[in-house]
Amino acid sequence: RVEPSKGVLGPRGSATCSIELRVELQTGKAEEGGSGGESLRKMFEILVDGSKAGIIDVSAIISRSALELLQVDGKGRLGDLDFGTLFFEEERYIDALLVNDSPDECEVRSSVHVEVRPNDNDAEPNIVVVQPAEATLAPYQQLPIRFLYRPRRPAQKKGFRSQQQEVYLEEHTAEISIAGVVDRVLSAAQIRAVGTARTMSVELGCGEIRFGNCRAGASVDVVTSLRNKDPALPIHFTVPRVAQFKLRPATGKILALQTLEIIASFTPNALGEHSAVLNFVCNNGAHHLSLPVYGFCDGLAEARQAPVRGPTAQPADFLPKFSFKESEARAIPVNQTKHPTLRGPQPDIPAWVKHPLPKGQGSVGDAYSCTVEELQNRQKHKAEVAEYLKTQHRKHFGRRAMYEDSPEYQLGPANTTKDDYGGFALNMGMKGCEGLRPPPLSLPKTPDPLHRAKIEYVPKLKVRQFDENRLLSTKFPSEAESKADRMACLQKLDPSTMREISVYPESLVFGDVSFGVGVSKSFAVQNGTKSAIRIVLTVPPAEEGDETRYFPVRVTPAAQVIPSGSIAGFDIEVKADVLREIDGELKYSINDCHFFNLRVQARPVPVHLKLEPATRTFTFGIQSTDMFVYETVMIHNKGSSDVEYAWVAGRCFQALLPRGIVEAGSVQDSIIRYTPGESVRAEETMTLRIMGGEDMFMTCVGECTPSKLSCLPPMLDFGTQIIGLRHQARAVLKNAGPGPAAFAIECFVKDMDREAVAQGLSLTVTPRIGGIQPGHSQELIFTLYTKVPLSVGSKADANRAPPVHITIRGAPPIKMNMKAEIISPDLEILTDEINFGQVSVGSSAFQPLRIKNKSAVSARISFDFSRNKEFTVQVPDALIPEDDGSLPEHEPSPEDEVEGSTVRPIQALVRGGGEIELIVAFTPSFAREGLGASLLSAVTKGSTTRSLELPISLSGLLSRELPANLKRALRRVVRAVATKAHVQLNLPSPADFGKRVVVTQQLADKNFCYTIPFEIRSLEKFAQTCTIKLVGDKDAPLGRPSITGGIFQISGPIELGHPPPPLVDGNVEASTIIPPTGTVAFYLSFCPRAPRPYDCTMEVSLKHGTGAAVDSNLKFVVNGEGMSPAIHFDRNEVVIPTVPLGITSTANFYLVNAGFDNLFVRLLFADSLPVTLSFPEGQTLSVAKNRLRVEAKFHSKKPISLSTRAYFLDSDDNAFSITIMAVADNSLLTNFPYWRMGEGRVEV
C-alpha cells in the first residue's frame, strides 16, 4: 500500500514541489511448520495529470519469524520434559536448543508456573529453573538452554510423627513459557515439564558406637549396617575420612530395599579419649546421617607380626585382618548354675565398675585418708549397693544368660522365626536402637566414689570474650514460664555441665567515672548447656553503722532465665554521689545452687569543664539589617569521662542546642543567639547546668543601633469587598532613625470570626521580615482572604488584640488594627430560561443572559463549561476583569480530576448596582452522545436533547461553597436540541496554515498566496444555497493582496481534483448552490505580510431553496503565522571526533534554505581557534540549491577541549548560529574510539 494515494504538486521551487511517498507492506501469519522465504513483487504506476510519469517497483522477501525449542541431538522439536523420580535436594537437568528463526534480533524471557500435588503443600520457589532466564538472540542464532529440576525438601513439622522416616512424595507439573518480541510480534515457545520427588529413607543399624579401650597401633572393629528403605530408588553414599576412625566401605551404592554391612574400625595413634562423628553424605548432599563414635587409648600395642609373603603365603593370609569387639558377657565366663547376670543395652559398659583412684587430687594430706564421718558414709553407701544387687539377683534368678546378638535377646524365645527380615529386628520407631530389650540395671547415684576420701571441688566457669561497653538488648524473663524450664532451674549442675556456661568479664573495671553521672557496662552470660538456667545477681546490702562501705551499683535486671544456646546481658550501672572509690563484689548464683562473685571497681572524679569566654559581646554591623546575631562559645572537657550539660535560656539570649554531651578530652562549640528587645542594650547571665557538677555562668552583653520606624497608615483598611477573592491593603514602613533598622511581622487571625477561621480565613504580609536603611522606606502588602462574610473593625472589636504585630530591633513594637467588611454580593439572573431549541451539528446558536448586581460593590462571576464543551459564554471585552492576582490558586474539583480537564472558568465583571448582558453559545458536535455526567440527553428521531444547570459561581469559590440564598438566585436550566448536520466539511476547526514565510510585496502584487482546498458535501436530498463569508478585524484585512492588502481570502467554487494555483484571485465572500447529495470545493488562501500570527472567522450559511431563511450557520476559525526567511541546520550541534594531538579531524554539516530566493551566506567565526570552516560547494543558497555543505576541520598541537558557536549571516545581517565542539588529547582513554577505528594502523 502506497500513502498518500493521491496529492497535489506545486511548481518548481515552491514548498509543495515535491511529495514524499510511503510504501507499507503487511504480511500474514506464517503457516505452522512453514520455512518462509517467499518472494513478493508488485508494480505501482504513477499518473501525473492523467498521464504516466513513472513506476515504483516494490520487491520483498517474506521470512518466517518464530521461536523454536529443539533437541540437542537434532532429532526435531523438543516435546514435554519428564524429569522422572528423584529425591528431595537432588538436581536433574535436560539440555535443549532455543532457535531464533527470524531475520531480526530477539530479546527472550522465560517464566515458570509450578503446580504441586497433593494440593495441601505450597510449591517452593525455583523448583524448575530455565538457564539462562533472559537472553538476546541474533538473527537465526541457536542458544543452548538448560531446564533444571531441583525439588526442595518440605519443612519438617514438630511432633512425634514427624520423627519417623516415612516416605513423603510430591508430584510437580510446570508450565514453561519462553517469550520474545520478533519483528514487533510477540512469539512464545510453550513446554510442559513433569517430575516426582520423594523423601530419602535410609537407616543406620545403630545410633552410636563405643569401641572401648584399644592400644595405640592396634585396632578394634565393629559391624553395623546401612539400610535403604526406599522401594524404588538406589542410594549412593560417601563418608569423609576422620582421624583415629575408619569405615569400610567408605563409598558405595545401595539398591532399593537392600542392606549393606559396614565395618567401623578404631585405630588410635595417640593416647587419651577420642570421639568423632562419621557423616554419611547420600546422593551428593541430598541427605545426611550422623554416627557418633567413641574410643579410649591407654597404652601401646605389642609389636606386630610380619605378614607372610612369598610362596609360603596361603589364601587366608591375603584376607583383611579384623579384630572384632566381643560383648562383655562373652568375654567374662558366666556361671550357669549359680547367679546368671543380665547386662544393659551397652555391653561394653558394665553395670558396676570400680575405677582406680586418681592420685594427687585429695583435699587433705593423703588421697586415701578420710575422717570418721566420711568412713561412716562409705559404709552406709556400701550397704545400699549390696541391698540393690541382692534385689536384682532375686528378680532375675533362674533365667539363662542371653547375649546381645542372639535372636532370643532381641525378640524373645517365642518370637524367633527364620522369615524375619534383617536378623530378627522389630523396629518400633524408636531412634538410637533396634528391637525390644529389657531395661538396663541402674544403681543409685553415689555421693562420693568408693574407697576415696572426700575432695573439695569448686567448678570454674568458662570465660568468653564480649564487648562489655556494648549493652546487650536481649533480656529474658526473671521466672521460668514452662514446666520443663522450672524443673531445669532447680537442678544442681555437675562440673562438666558447668564448663558449658561462659561469663564475661570476670571483673568489671569502670575506671574514672564522672561525679553524679551514671555509667553502665554489660555482664554477659552464655548458656551452652542443653537446658535452661536461672542467673540471679544481688547487690550486698550495707550493714548498719558501716560508713566505710560505699557501693552505689544497680543491676538491671536482677534475674533472668536463659534458654539453651542463648546469651543474656545484665546492665551494671555505677553512679557515684560522693567522691569515694568504689570497690566491691556482686553475688550471682546459678539455679540457686552455685554461687560466684563479680568484682566491680570504679573511681569517681569531679567534673572539670571550662567555659570560654566568660563574657561574650554581641554586636550588629554598621549596615546590618538582621533581626538576630550569633556568637560561638567553647566548652572544654579536660576530664576523663563524658559530661552532659544543659543551657538555661534567657530573655534575649538562647542557645541553638540547649542540651548536649562533651566527650572526654574534647572541645565542643555552642552557638548563642541574641534577639534584641525594645532597648538597644541587653545584659544577661546565662547558666550552664552540669550533670554531676556545679553550674557555670557566662555574661552575655548585646548592643544594637537605635531604630525609629513609623508605619502609615496606622490602621489597615480593606474597605467593603466580596467573598472569594484575595483583597490587598498597603502600608509603608519608614526609617527615620540614624542607623539601619530590622523588622519582623506576625499576623494573628485566630481571635477573629470563628466561622471564617474554620473556612480558611488567612491574613498574610509581604515581606514578613526585612531591613530598612536610614532615610528609606519599605512597602508592606497585606492580603486578606475569606470564603464567608466577615466584619472586622467595629466597636465590638475594640477589646480584641491587634491582628498585626511589627517587632522592631532595638525599639518598641508597632501594633496595627484592621478594618474590613467582606460581604456576599446580591446577584439576580433576569433571564428566566435559556432554551436554544433545535440546532444542527456543526452550527451555532446564541441566547442572551442578563445578570443584575443589587449590591454596592462589584462582583466577579465565573462560568465553568469544562465538562460541557458544547456550551460557552461570550463576554465583551469591557466586562472581562483584569488579572490583578486577586483570584486564589486554581484547585481542580474532583469532577475535573476524573475528566482530566484543565480549562479555566470564564470570568465576567458585574459592577455594583449595574446590569450586564452576556451571550450563551451552543455548538453541538455529536447528535447522539452526551459529553458529561451532569448533562441529560434524550434521543428522539435523530435528535438529542441537552439539559444542564447553568454552571455559574462567584470567582474564587466553587458552586457548593456559595451562600444558600445566592445559590438559589443563580440557579437556571439550559436546554438545547441537537439535530443532525445538513452538510459535511473536510476542513478542521481551527484551519491552521502553520508557519509560512512572509510574502514579499512583489509576490503580493501578483496575488501569491498559500492555499488550502476544502470540500462541502450535502447530506440532504434537496438543493441548498451555501454562502461562505470571512469575518476579520483591522489587524487581519481580508480580500485580494494586490488590491486590499488582504491576509485571508476565499475563492471558488472550483472543480474537484485540480491542484490549487499559487496565484489566486479571491474575495471576502463566495456563494453557490449545492445539488442534492452533491459536493462543491473552495480555496482558502493565506498571504502573510509580517512575521506574526493572524486569524479570522469563516462563516458558512445554508438556506433550503431560494429566498428561504437561514437554516444553519457554521463557524470555523482560520489562523496562520508569518515567519521571516531563515537558515536552518541539519543537526542541533556539530561534534568533531576526538583525536590525538597533531591529528586533523573533519566533520560536515548542511545549511538548509527556509524561504530565501537567492542568498549569499556570510560566515562570522573566530580566527584564533584551531577550527576552520569552509564551503566546498560555494556560499549561495537559492530555490534550486536548497542545501549547502559546510566542512569543519580541527587540528591542535596542545591538549584542548572547546565549545564555540559559528554565525551565518543573511543579507539583512540576521545571524543564525550552531554550536561546534572538539577535543584533542593524548590520553588513551579519551581517544579510545580513535584507536579502535585505527586498530592495526596506529602505534601507541
Q: Provide the pLDDT for residue 330.
A: 39
Q: Provide the pLDDT for residue 337.
A: 39
Segment 1192-1204 shows an average pLDDT of 93
Higher-confidence position of 1176 and 323: 1176
| Cell numbers representing residue 511 in the block | 575506671
Distance CA 1135, CA 1222 (A): 6
Instruction: State the pLDDT confidence band at 1160, using cuts at 50, 70 and 90.
Output: very high
Task: Report the range of poorest mean pLDDT among 153-162, 363-372, 390-399.
Answer: 363-372
Q: Provide the pLDDT for residue 88.
A: 86
Q: Provide the pLDDT for residue 462.
A: 53
Instruction: State the pLDDT confidence band at 536, using cuts at 50, 70 and 90.
Output: very high
Residue with cell 532399593: 256
pLDDT score of 257 more than 90:
no
Segment 257-276 shows an average pLDDT of 89
pLDDT score of 952 more than 50:
yes
Nearest residue to 133 (alpha-carbon basis) of 150, 149, 146: 146
Q: Provide the pLDDT for residue 426.
A: 44
Residue with cell 510480534: 185
Residue 649: CA atoms inside 13 Å, Cβ hemisphere, count? 11
Q: How would DSSP label each residue in 78-100?
A: ---EEEEEEETT--EEEEEEEEE
Higher-confidence position of 925 and 251: 251
Structure confidence by residue, pLDDT tens digits, 7-41: 888 888 787 788 888 888 776 655 444 555 567 77
In a 10 Å sphere around its CB, with 0-12 CB exposed, 13-18 middle and 19+ buried, how is residue 901 labelled?
middle
CA angle, 1228 as apex, 1224 and 1233 as ends, to 5°? 75
Look at strands 1162-1164 and 1110-1123 and give their pairing. unpaired
Instruction: State the pLDDT confidence band at 882, using cuts at 50, 70 and 90.
Output: confident
Structure confidence by residue, pLDDT tens digits, 54-110: 888 888 777 667 788 888 887 788 888 888 888 888 888 899 988 888 877 888 888
pLDDT score of 349 more than 60:
no
Q: Provide the pLDDT for residue 559.
A: 92
pLDDT score of 741 more than 70:
yes
| Cell numbers representing residue 232 in the block | 524404588
Distance CA 93, CA 74 (A): 18
Distance CA 902, CA 1025 (A): 40
pLDDT score of 478 more than 80:
yes
Q: Which amino acid is at 185?
A: V
Q: Which amino acid is at 370?
A: C
Residue with cell 433550503: 1104
Q: How would DSSP label each residue in 806-845?
A: EEETTEEEEEEEEEEEEE---EEE----EEEEEEETTB-E
Segment 1193-1209 shows an average pLDDT of 93
Instruction: State the pLDDT confidence band at 535, using cuts at 50, 70 and 90.
Output: very high
Distance CA 15, CA 1155 (A): 9
Contact, 975 vs 835, CB < 8 A?
Answer: yes
Q: Provide the pLDDT for residue 736.
A: 86
pLDDT score of 560 more than 90:
yes
Contact, 787 vs 806, CB < 8 A?
Answer: no
Higher-confidence position of 825 and 755: 825
Q: Which amino acid is at 856?
A: A
Hey, what's the torsion of the CAs at 538, 544, 549, 555, to 10 degrees? Answer: 20
Instruction: State the pLDDT confidence band at 942, using cuts at 50, 70 and 90.
Output: low
Q: Provide the pLDDT for residue 403.
A: 42
Segment 650-674 shows an average pLDDT of 87
pLDDT score of 1217 more than 90:
yes
CA angle, 884 as apex, 879 and 885 as ends, to 5°? 125
| Cell numbers representing residue 441 in the block | 540395671
Higher-confidence position of 1125 and 354: 1125
Measured over the CA atoms of residue 226, residue 232, residue 233 and residue 234, the dihedral's sign is: positive
Please provide residue 842's backbone torsions phi and psi, each rounded to the nearest 5 degrees: 100, -25
Residue 373: its H or E element: helix 372-396
Higher-confidence position of 356 and 250: 250
Q: Which residues of 213-228 are buried (b: 16+ CB within 10 A; e: fewer)?
A: ebebebbbbbebbbbb
- % helix, strand, coil for the chain, step of 5: 10, 45, 45
Q: Provide the pLDDT for residue 637.
A: 84
| Cell numbers representing residue 962 in the block | 456559595
pLDDT score of 314 more than 80:
no
Q: How would DSSP label each residue in 154-210?
A: PPPPSSSGGGS----EEEEEEEEEEEEEETTEEEEEEEEEEEEEE---EEES-S-EE
Query: Which residues, in sequence order, are CB contacts of 391 under 8 Å at separation 6+?
Result: none
> 613: cis peptide before it, omega within 30°?
yes
Structure confidence by residue, pLDDT tens digits, 573-610: 988 877 778 888 888 999 888 888 888 888 887 777 78
Q: Calculate the average pLDDT of the chain.
A: 78
Neighbours of 1138 (CB within 10 A): 20
Nearest residue to 990 (alpha-carbon basis) of 1010, 1014, 1024: 1014
Please provide residue 224's backbone torsions phi and psi, each rounded to the nearest 5 degrees: -135, -175
Residue 393: its H or E element: helix 372-396
Structure confidence by residue, pLDDT tens digits, 1171-1180: 999 999 999 9
Q: Provide the pLDDT for residue 277.
A: 93
Query: Which residues, in sequence order, are CB contacts of 1065 under 8 Å at separation 6+?
Result: 1007, 1040, 1051
Contact, 849 vs 910, CB < 8 A?
Answer: no
Residue 766: its H or E element: strand 762-766
Distance CA 932, CA 950 (A): 13
pLDDT score of 366 more than 50:
no
Q: Provide the pLDDT for residue 899.
A: 43
Task: Report the range of poorest mean pLDDT among 541-545, 658-662, 1133-1137.
Answer: 541-545
Task: Report the range of poorest mean pLDDT among 275-279, 738-742, 1100-1104.
Answer: 1100-1104
What Rg value do the Cα atoms of the chain yield, rounded?
52
User: Hey, which of 878-887, 912-921, 979-988 has the most confident mean pLDDT?
Assistant: 912-921
Q: Provide the pLDDT for residue 1216.
A: 92
Segment 727-755 shows an average pLDDT of 85
Distance CA 493, CA 661 (A): 46
Residue 377: its H or E element: helix 372-396
Q: Provide the pLDDT for residue 419.
A: 40
Instruction: State the pLDDT confidence band at 139, using cuts at 50, 70 and 90.
Output: confident
Instruction: State the pLDDT confidence band at 381, using cuts at 50, 70 and 90.
Output: confident
Q: Provide the pLDDT for residue 430.
A: 46
Q: Which residues of 788-825 are buried (b: 16+ CB within 10 A; e: fewer)?
A: bebbbbeeebeeeebbbebbbbbbebbebbbebbbbbb
| Cell numbers representing residue 658 in the block | 540547649
Instruction: State the pLDDT confidence band at 432, using cuts at 50, 70 and 90.
Output: very low
Hey, what's the torsion of the CAs at 873, 876, 882, 887, to 10 degrees? Answer: -20
Distance CA 1003, CA 1085 (A): 14
Instruction: State the pLDDT confidence band at 474, using cuts at 50, 70 and 90.
Output: confident
Query: Which residues, in sequence order, are CB contacts of 397 under 8 Å at separation 6+?
Result: 339, 340
Q: Where are the beta strands (DSSP E) in 591-725?
A: 594-605, 609-612, 615-619, 629-637, 643-648, 653-655, 659-662, 667-674, 681-690, 696-703, 709-712, 715-722
Percentage of residues in the chain with pLDDT exceeding 70?
78
Distance CA 818, CA 747 (A): 11
The separation between the first and the last C-alpha atoms of the chain, rounded to the nearest angstrom, is 55
Distance CA 705, CA 771 (A): 13
Distance CA 1072, CA 1093 (A): 31
Alpha-carbon distances of 721 from 189, 354, 952, rounded to whole Å: 74, 114, 20
pLDDT score of 445 more than 60:
no
- The DSSP letter of residue 56 is E
Residue with cell 475535573: 896
Instruction: State the pLDDT confidence band at 476, using cuts at 50, 70 and 90.
Output: very high
Instruction: State the pLDDT confidence band at 945, using cuts at 50, 70 and 90.
Output: confident
Q: Provide the pLDDT for residue 1188.
A: 93
| Cell numbers representing residue 415 in the block | 518370637
Q: Which amino acid is at 901?
A: S
Distance CA 1095, CA 1115 (A): 13
